[in-house]
Amino acid sequence: MSDSVFISYAQTGEDVVLWRSLHPVQNGRYVEVGANHPSDMSITRSFYDRGWSGITVEPVPFFADLHRAERPRDTLVQAAVTSDDVASITLHEIPGTGLSTLMDDVSDRHGTSGWAHTDITVPATRLDALLDAHLDPADAIHFMVIDTEGAERKVIESIDLTVWRPWILVVEATAPLSKTQTHGEWEQLVLDAGYEFCLFDGVSRFYVSSEHAADLKDLLSYPACPHDAFETRSALDARLARGQLVSDVFRWRAAALERWTERAGMRGSTEQTAEIERLRHELEAIHGTLSWRVTAPLRAVRARWRA
């Protein structure tokens, strides 16, 4: 699948920027803290589909269960990451969204905007302890994503980035549901650990480890753009729906003409026969297009969902 069109699931094309930089890596590894949904607005989903795997960390039970079901190659850790010395912690869960947070002030702001939350108790862990349980510091982590709805500093404080050296760090750098930048709260910790700033895409900030800066920094310096060969999941879904509708119309029209001629008890006029053949040829042309072939796996998944 590595030679097919890259499908971007991420919110602002973060996965496109990462793929631009890391596409030569085969079967790479990621760590995603605050993984949320396994596909919707996921930075790691396209990499998973291309043979990568890694550690996904998600404390919300609903999303954790989805990860286990949809992405069995990943190691799912159902916990919240924090630098606090606790075995469990309160999560302000806003069901069905990516807004659940450990931060009281963030939850309060959501509440004033009409987002009701439920407090649940979830396991807590430091990030370095979590990594130590599953990896060795010598194991390559090609990129790490930290998106924890205001708790990014707590996550960064819980890992020694001079020991664990992800090639690339992607950290959410705006307050939830806001354009207010928050990197001033934690960026110095990243820079002091030997990481270099590359890009702010409006939501997240990208950093590269000093040992990989020479190879990757330029590739990480600009957001997803027309020079990158990719399709967004939303655009593909829309084209899939349009293509399926057109295909159905051609097929139904040809079938209707054939039934009409059969019921009339005649072979059909030359014009009717020509119309049926024209519709069949147009249907074959639709099925031969690049977008139809690219969306074949999505159609198969959608068919299974309907079943």
State pTM to two decimals: 0.76
Q: Are residues 258 and 118 in the same domain?
A: no
Q: For residues 251 and 300, state if they share a domain.
A: yes
- Kindly tell me the sign of the dihedral angle through the C-alpha atoms of 36, 134, 52, 17: positive
Dihedral over Cα of 95, 99, 105, 111: its sign: negative
Shared domain for 176 and 251, answered yes or no, is: no
Specify the pLDDT at position 188. Answer: 98
Same domain, 262 and 216: no
Q: Are residues 254 and 222 both part of a single domain?
A: no
d(Cα 116, Cα 113) in Å, to the nearest integer? Answer: 9
Same domain, 24 and 168: yes
d(Cα 183, Cα 168) in Å, to the nearest integer?
16
Tokens representing residue 252 in the block: 């139904």
Distance of CA 180 to the CA centre of its chain: 23
In a domain, 45, yes or no: yes
CA distances from 138 to 132, 159, 265, 293 (A): 11, 15, 77, 40
| Residue 233 in domain | no
- The values of phi and psi at residue 221, to 5°, are -90, -5
| CATH number for 194 | 3.40.50.150
Q: Look-up: residue for tokens 């992607």?
A: 170
Q: Same domain for 119 and 34?
A: yes
**Amino acid identity at 280:** R
Are 223 and 275 in a shared domain? no
Whether residue 38 is found in the same domain as residue 132 = yes
C-alpha span between 210 and 194 (Å, rounded) = 6
Residue 272 is assigned to a structural domain of this protein? yes
Which strands form 168-172's sheet, in the order they lie side by side? 75-77, 53-57, 29-33, 143-146, 168-172, 204-209, 195-200
In angstroms, the CA 71 to CA 53 distance is 9
Residue 159, domain member (yes or no): yes
Residue at which a domain ends, from 228, 252, 279: 228
> What is the chain's pLDDT, residue by residue, as a tens digit (307 residues)?
445 789 999 999 999 999 999 999 999 999 999 999 999 999 999 999 999 999 999 999 999 999 999 999 999 999 999 999 999 999 988 887 778 887 667 777 777 777 778 888 999 999 999 999 999 999 999 999 999 988 999 999 999 999 999 999 999 999 988 899 999 999 999 999 999 999 999 999 999 999 999 999 999 999 999 899 888 876 676 655 555 555 555 566 656 656 665 665 545 566 666 666 676 666 666 666 645 555 555 555 455 444 4
Domain that holds residue 118: 6-228
- pLDDT, residue 104, reads 67
Q: Are residues 23 and 150 in the same domain?
A: yes
The answer as to whether 1 is a domain residue is no
Cα 121 to Cα 92: distance, rounded to the nearest angstrom: 9
Tokens 């085969």, residue?
A: 26
Q: Which of the listed residues 228, 256, 273 is the one where a domain comes to its end? A: 228
For residue 234, being part of any structural domain is answered with no
Q: Measure the CA–CA gap between 93 and 101, rounded to whole angstroms.
A: 7
The verdict on 22 and 50 lying in the same domain is yes
The answer to the question of residue 252 being in a domain is: yes
How many domains does one find in the chain? Answer: 2
271 falls within a domain: yes
pLDDT at 7: 94
Of 160, 193, 228, the domain-final residue: 228
Q: Are residues 208 and 70 in the same domain?
A: yes
Residues in the chain: 307
* pLDDT the model gives residue 305: 45
State the pLDDT at residue 149: 84
